[in-house]
Amino acid sequence: MLEKLQMIEKHYDDISQLLADPTVVSDQEQFRKLMKEHKSLTPIVEIYKKYKKAAETAEEAHALLDTSQEKDFKELLDEELHAARSDMERFTEELRLLMLPKDPNDDKNVIVEIRGGAGGEEAALFASELFRMYSMYAESKGWKTETLNLNATELGGIKEISFMIEGDAAYSRLKFESGVHRVQRVPETEAGGRIHTSTVTVAVLPEAEEVELDINPDDLQIDTYRSGGAGGQHVNKTESAIRITHLPTGIIVECQDERSQYKNRDKAMKILRSRIYDRMQAEQAQKIAAERRSQVGTGDRSERIRTYNFPQGRVTDHRIGLTLYKIADILNGDLEEIINALTTADQAEKLKVGEV
């Protein structure tokens, strides 16, 4: 690992020199690419420098211990040696985590799709609450949220919604949210006070740039139709809604959120690119040996990943056995503890299977 770190540090220094070159600065595309790589390597190089300093301190203390005769001084040197070795161990663990193979999608924006599942209107109402939860989490991170398509119910629930979250490394923080979210509570319409169980599916897709995915226009069937939904003067007035079918894969995307047909088409294409890209990623992941898959997982839409139990005030993530008794805070966007725990579990699994 140390040899690899030396190569990384040298590469980092080379990039730093290039970033100071006026020729490189004038080439915006190359400059942006180098800045991105420089940023990704900075945490590794910084910890490696701390490791080298601790190693140097340990070496010096060890050398002085061999030559010193003074008892008090030797005790100080011994303490210094132990502290330096402890730092080296800590920095080694940090470096092992930082050098884990990085998901190439981690730095991307995301498109989140939420759909009400089993439970009818109660599922739709909870889908609306999950949308609010992710929106509030995004707001707490300083990220931007944009609704791409919304299919609402008369009672304020959501049958289906697609929205984009733009922010620094958004996918790395939200990728473990894909799956089935289960809610257990007494609906307001339930006179007998019985607890109902409903489900909502969440899909988190990395945004696919046009340069990453070349879609042949001949592979697209584009239909227009009149918007439908829960009221509003514009509903059913003009054919502004868009339905795009990608013929090779059969993926269908509909978008009717905007009054402009052009805007709906643009949003529908964003969703379509991300869905096709996600399918390509999933097919590639299936080829990976089972023992090298993450324990946490990110792609199985049918997997029940989390339960929100209102009577007990708890949220349980079934993948890592984490239960937190602060359901109100979580639904208000306080997701950091869950996300950090999932990330740690994923890193531990990757270390266990020897990916470094």
Q: How far apart are CA 342 and CA 174, in angstroms?
A: 10
Mean pLDDT for the chain overall:
85
Residue 89 confidence (pLDDT) above 80 = yes
- Report the pLDDT value the prediction gives residue 123, as an integer from 0 to 100: 92
Q: In whole angstroms, how far apart are CA 155 and each of 82, 188, 280?
A: 65, 12, 37
Nearest C-alpha neighbor of 195 from the set 253, 122, 260, 140: 122
Q: What is the dihedral of CA 202, 166, 170, 242, to 10 degrees?
A: 30
Q: Say if CB 117 and CB 201 are below 8 A apart.
A: yes
Burial tier of 175 (Cβ tally within 10 Å: 0-12, 13-18, 19+): buried
Residue corresponding to tokens 């089972």: 290
Q: Mean pLDDT over residues 166-171, rounded?
A: 91
Task: Give me the helix-helix angle, 2-19 and 28-67, nearest 10°.
Answer: 130
Domain residue spans of the chain:
2-98, 105-207+293-356, 211-287
Residue corresponding to tokens 């889908």: 127
| High-pLDDT (> 70) share of the chain, % | 88
* Residue 118 CB-half CA count within 13 A: 11
- The pTM of the whole model exceeds 0.75: no
Per-residue pLDDT of 117-142, as tens digits, reads 888 889 999 999 999 999 999 999 99
Residue 247 DSSP symbol: T
- Report the pLDDT value the prediction gives residue 107, as an integer from 0 to 100: 86
Q: What ranges in the chain are assigned the alpha helix state H? A: 2-19, 22-26, 28-67, 71-98, 120-140, 170-174, 261-286, 327-331, 336-352
Q: How far apart are CA 97 and CA 95, in angstroms?
A: 5
The phi, psi pair for 241, rounded to 5°, reads -70, 150
Q: How far apart are CA 284 and CA 267, in angstroms?
A: 26
For 211-287, CATH gives 3.30.160.20
DSSP reduced 3-state for 142: coil
Amino acid (1-letter code) at residue 308: Y
| Of residues 233 and 246, more confidently modeled | 246
Q: In whole angstroms, how far apart are CA 125 and each of 47, 117, 163, 274, 281?
A: 46, 11, 17, 26, 31
Tokens (6 digits) for 341: 């725990």
> How is the chain split among helix, strand and coil, in percent rounded to 5?
50, 20, 30
- Report the pLDDT value the prediction gives residue 288, as an integer from 0 to 100: 45
Residue 211 confidence (pLDDT) above 90 = no
- Report the pLDDT value the prediction gives residue 301, as an integer from 0 to 100: 52
| Of residues 276 and 315, more confidently modeled | 315
Q: How far apart are CA 151 and CA 161, in angstroms?
A: 6
Residue 299 confidence (pLDDT) above 90 = no
Q: Say if CB 132 and CB 138 are below 8 A apart.
A: no
- Report the pLDDT value the prediction gives residue 290, as an integer from 0 to 100: 43
Residue corresponding to tokens 């639904």: 331
DSSP reduced 3-state for 327: helix
Residue 216 confidence (pLDDT) above 90 = no
- The correct CATH number of 105-207+293-356 out of 3.30.365.10, 3.40.50.720, 3.40.50.880, 3.30.70.1660 is 3.30.70.1660
Other beta carbons within 10 angstroms of residue 61's beta carbon come to 20
Residue corresponding to tokens 């190089």: 45
Residue 195 DSSP symbol: -
Q: How far apart are CA 61 and CA 73, in angstroms?
A: 11
Q: How far apart are CA 257 and CA 228, in angstroms?
A: 10
